A and B are shown apart, each in its own frame.
Chain A
Amino acid sequence: MSDRSAKQLGATIAASAFQKQWFANLRRRVFDERQPYALVQADVPFELFDLMDIPAVSNQWWAAIIAAKRQAPAYLDAMSADGYHDGLCRYCSLGYSSTRYRDVQEPPWGGLPTPRLLCARLTCDCIHRVFSLWAEAFGSELFEIDHPGAGELPPRWWELGRHRWRELVEPHRLAFVATALERLVERLEAISGRRFEREALRQRMEMVNQQEEVFDAVRRLIATAPEAPVRMTEQISNVMATQWVRGTEWALAHALAFHDEVKHRVERGIAACPGERARLMWVGAGLWHDTDFYTAFEESHRAVFVWSMYLAFGPDGYIRYGLDDPMAALASRTASFNEYLHNPPWAAEWIVQQAREHRIDGALVLRPRSMKPAGTGRLFIERALEEAGIAVLPIEGDVVDARGWDAAGARAAVQAFLEARVIS
């Protein structure tokens, strides 16, 4: 019997160790050296912060850490007791909750120090409120990047993003986001006392391109190998550890190490789940409080999760060629960023294309309990997958809130789904 929680790749262990060390360094910088850091939404351009020597902590990453440490319920109970109703988004607010109710328990890794700045794109309606409350709780400054809506909707967005990114976003939206990013840079200059170098941004984005090209190669390896060489959970660990510091030397080196290890496994016929019988995709954010779920069907059904958005979105969402105006290129990535992952027409087109490329047999689609805006577009995705001949099982759950999660029931539902619709 294999140990499903054991890491199969050395790169995964290195990625986890890096993140823990990175966070320890951050706390040391902030507490001992009184250096500023920023607390940001996952979809803001981290490159700008890093170039100005202001480390940026992702809200979603921090929420995932709390959830993975099984600490979310205590914070969320405190939130409910304070009058926040249960229909409010828990993913984006768990970090706020860990600050607002910091006395409830000792947070992971010593907790978040007080940031100099919080920064968020105003995507969902709740983001302005969650970040305003969080900034109030810390007594810190909030920088907001408003989110214009897309009026032109190219369905196959990933075919435009790399070379034709100016066609992907309408000129007025591109200009608006670029202006907002320029304003952010001015603020970061004032905080850091450093001068922003446009050439440094161009070079950083070239490094980001290289990093995502490596992930593209990893994606091809996974898609084309006879059996998946790496578990989805380990894909996520390796990808996200690098995405938060993307374009740095460590990130590129780690991406290459990850690639080489996956390639080595493919060349030697080493599979994540030897004897693979079913290839699964996970559509939605990860179930951070129960990541064992993703390996739970390997032994019983030889069913392995092959795909999630986390690896695939790197090459398709980040790469920008033609960096004469790096801020405009960065703005084109930022303008619609996570909309592509959820909403029509973008999400369903991409996910079906990815499912075909990865020879997916069955798709599990998250029906998020509290992240309502992220729950839109789901029916379009489910239908498009079914129309493409890919069996779909909706899974209702919350990505950080384990309180209503029926782990056994969900596993039983997947087993029944595999037996009835996937494994013939």
Chain B
Amino acid sequence: MTANAIVTDSGRLNVVISWPSVPVEIVRAAGLRPIIVRSGPEGAAATPAADEHLESGIFPSRLRYLVDAALTGRLDNAACIIVPRTSDPDYKTFLYLREFERRGIARTLPPTILFDLLQSEAPEVRAYDAARMKDLFEVLASVTGRQPSLDDLRLEIARTNAARSAVRRLAALRHVVPRIKGAEVLPLLSAFWQLPPNDYAVVAAEAVDLIAQRPPLDGLRVLLAGAPVDGTALHAAIESHGAIVVEEVGPWGSAAAGDDVDCAGDPLLALADKYRRDAIGPRTPIGALRNSISRMLVGIDAVVVWLPPEDTTFGWDYPALRDLFRARRIPHTCLRGDPSDHDRLKTLVGAAETRHV
């Protein structure tokens, strides 16, 4: 959801979320509609209100949009804003939003909630996260005045699992034998976070039927690693050189769904486990991310590592990833700052083609 979309969609049942590590199942079970902020294609759009208060080079554009929308009254009608703890800039955004309210800088903000999901592997984290899920479940019920039951939540989980299944079928059409380009499929995959799950399952199934009829695509298969991207610009830049982005690290592409949530037992605990394990961001444990990328390399011809200017985290992974790529003899390039560095991309594709031959 881009800044402009927030303006038009900021209705009373909408919950504005800063990153897809907030359980949409709980939001929907409360009768609310999740709207997840993205930088989208308007990456260069101005955020003058936010720029007055947010230090430069720290907050990614999605958070600048969120703050700009909050400060200019565009979120006034939303039911609430939920900011997860899954990155430091998100947490700081929560503190800033509260401070804007305290100081009267933003006069009509909806309630701002911190969803304190922790992601480390410390043993005390699991129970903590489960308790935070329960808190969120109760807080959102108080926002709407509608108290869902755990069975309501299980139903929402089941619906979302069906949507997850659709995501996985869609993602399968881009992996071993790609039939769709990354720039084309990314919006279909990322819609998982936006559409009601029943609607998504139908739309995605139709898309799967159509795409499955297409002939296989020729081209080098590229993995996009590094910081997650939430738009198609980088995919398009890579694919303009004849390659195909078949997978990316981040919540907006093939990994949007992940595994199903098992709701036979305690659904809140199951959601806590799911989101702690699958939420991809700067606080995803280094070992989990390395293993995940290592698995993704099967069938990959080249890798593009993307590190945006505000990166403080994923750059720490780069030398180890570089060594991994070299050990597997997979050409790679690292884009820092300029996502459309065509010279680097062209060189990478050339190197990968040489290896391929």
Chain A interface residues (CB < 8 Å from chain B): 82-85, 87-89, 122-126, 128-130, 132-133, 144-151, 153, 155, 172, 176, 179-180, 183, 343-345, 372-373, 375-380
Whether, in the assembled complex, B42 has its beta carbon less than 8 Å from a beta carbon of chain A, the answer is no
B122 at the interface (CB under 8 A from A): yes
Residues from chain B with Cβ under 8 Å of A129 in the complex: 286, 313, 316-317
Min distance, Cβ A126 to any Cβ of chain B, angstroms: 5
State in angstroms the CA–CA spacing of A105 and B283 once bound together.
33
Q: Which residue of B lies closest to A130 (CB)?
A: B316
A128 & B88 in contact (Cβ 8 Å cutoff):
no
Does A151 contact B116, Cβ atoms closer than 8 Å? yes
Q: How far is the CA of A373 from the CA of B311 in the complex (A)?
A: 11
Closest beta carbon of chain B to A133's beta carbon, Å: 7
> Does B265 count as interface, using CB distance less than 8 angstroms?
no
Q: Is the CB of B95 within 8 A of A343?
A: yes
For the residues of A in contact with B, the DSSP-based class is loop
Which residue of A147, A345, A372, A377 contacts B102 across the interface (Cβ within 8 Å)? A345
Question: What's the minimum C-beta distance from B184 to chain A, rounded to whole angstroms?
Answer: 31
Closest to B128 in A: A176
**Chain B contacts of A128 at CB under 8 A?**
120, 283, 285-286
Query: Considering the chains assembled together, what is the distance between the CA atoms of A84 and B318 in angstroms?
Result: 7
> Quick one: which of A123, A150, A176 contacts B124, CB cutoff 8 A?
A176
Q: Which residues of A contact B215 (CB under 8 A)?
A: none
CB-based contact B88/A373 at 8 Å: yes
User: Which residues in chain B, 104-139, are within 8 Å of chain A measured between CB atoms?
Assistant: 113-114, 116, 118, 120-125, 128, 131
Q: Which 4 A-B pairs have the closest CB atoms?
A: A344-B99, A129-B316, A125-B282, A146-B120
Alpha-carbon gap, A144 to B287, bound state (A)? 14
Contact residues in A for B92 (Cβ distance below 8 Å): 343, 373, 376-377
Other A-B pairs, 10, CB within 8 Å; known A84-B315, A151-B116: A84-B316, A87-B312, A87-B315, A124-B88, A128-B283, A146-B120, A149-B91, A153-B98, A176-B124, A345-B95
- For A180, what are the chain B residues with a Cβ–Cβ distance below 8 Å? 122, 124
Interface size on B, residues (CB 8 A): 49
Least CB distance, B315 to chain A, in whole angstroms: 5
A85 touches B283 (CB 8 A): no
Determine whether the beta carbon of A345 is less than 8 Å from that of B98. yes
Contact of A372 among B58, B122, B123 (CB under 8 A): B58
Cβ B58 vs Cβ A125 within 8 A: no
Contact A88-B315, Cβ < 8 Å, known A151-B114, A343-B95, A375-B55: yes
Contact residues in B for A88 (Cβ distance below 8 Å) = 311-312, 315-316
Tell me if A125 and B98 are in contact (CB < 8 A): no
| CB<8 Å pairs between A and B, sample of 12 | A126-B313, A129-B316, A133-B286, A149-B116, A179-B124, A183-B123, A183-B124, A344-B95, A372-B310, A372-B312, A375-B58, A376-B58
Most buried by B among A133, A343, A344, A373: A344
List B residues at the A interface (Cβ < 8 Å): 52-55, 57-58, 85, 87-88, 91-92, 94-96, 98-99, 102, 113-114, 116, 118, 120-125, 128, 131, 282-283, 285-287, 307, 309-313, 315-320, 322, 334, 336
Identify the closest chain B residue to A143 (Cβ).
Answer: B122
Interface centre among B123, B282, B315, B317 (most CB of A within 10 A): B315
Q: Which residues of A contact B123 (CB under 8 A)?
A: 183
Asked if A172 contacts B316 (CB within 8 A), the reply is no
Which of chain A's residues have a CB closer than 8 A to the CB of B128? 146, 148, 172, 176
What is the bound-complex CA distance between A132 and B286, given in angstroms? 8
Instruction: State A85–B317 Cα separation when bound (angstroms).
Output: 11
- What chain A residues lie within 8 Å of B94 (beta carbons)? 149
**What is the CB-to-nearest-CB distance from B54 to chain A, in angstroms, rounded to a whole number?**
8
Interchain nearest-CB distance for B143 vs A (Å) = 15
**Which residue of A is nearest B319, CB measured?**
A83
Compute how far the CA of A124 lies from the CA of B92 in the bound complex, rounded to whole angstroms. Answer: 10
Q: Which chain B residues lie closer than 8 Å to A151 at the CB level?
A: 113-114, 116
Complex CA distance for A380 and B287, rounded to whole angstroms: 36
Contact of A84 among B87, B116, B125, B319 (CB under 8 A): B319
> What separation, in Å, do the CA atoms of A257 and B55 have in the docked complex?
42
Please indicate the chain A residues that have their CB under 8 angstroms from the CB of B88 in the complex: 123-125, 373
CB-defined contacts of B317 to chain A, threshold 8 Å = 129
- Chain B positions within 8 Å of A147 at CB level: 118
Q: Are B96 and A344 in contact (CB under 8 A)?
A: yes
Q: Smallest Cβ distance from A3 to chain B, in angstroms?
A: 38
| B307 contacts A85, C-beta separation under 8 Å | yes
Residue of A nearest to B283 (CB): A125
Given A128-B285, A375-B55, A376-B92, are A83 and B318 also a contact pair (CB < 8 Å)? yes
* Closest beta carbon of chain A to B234's beta carbon, Å: 17
In the complex the two chains form, what is the Cα distance from A288 to B96 in whole Å?
29
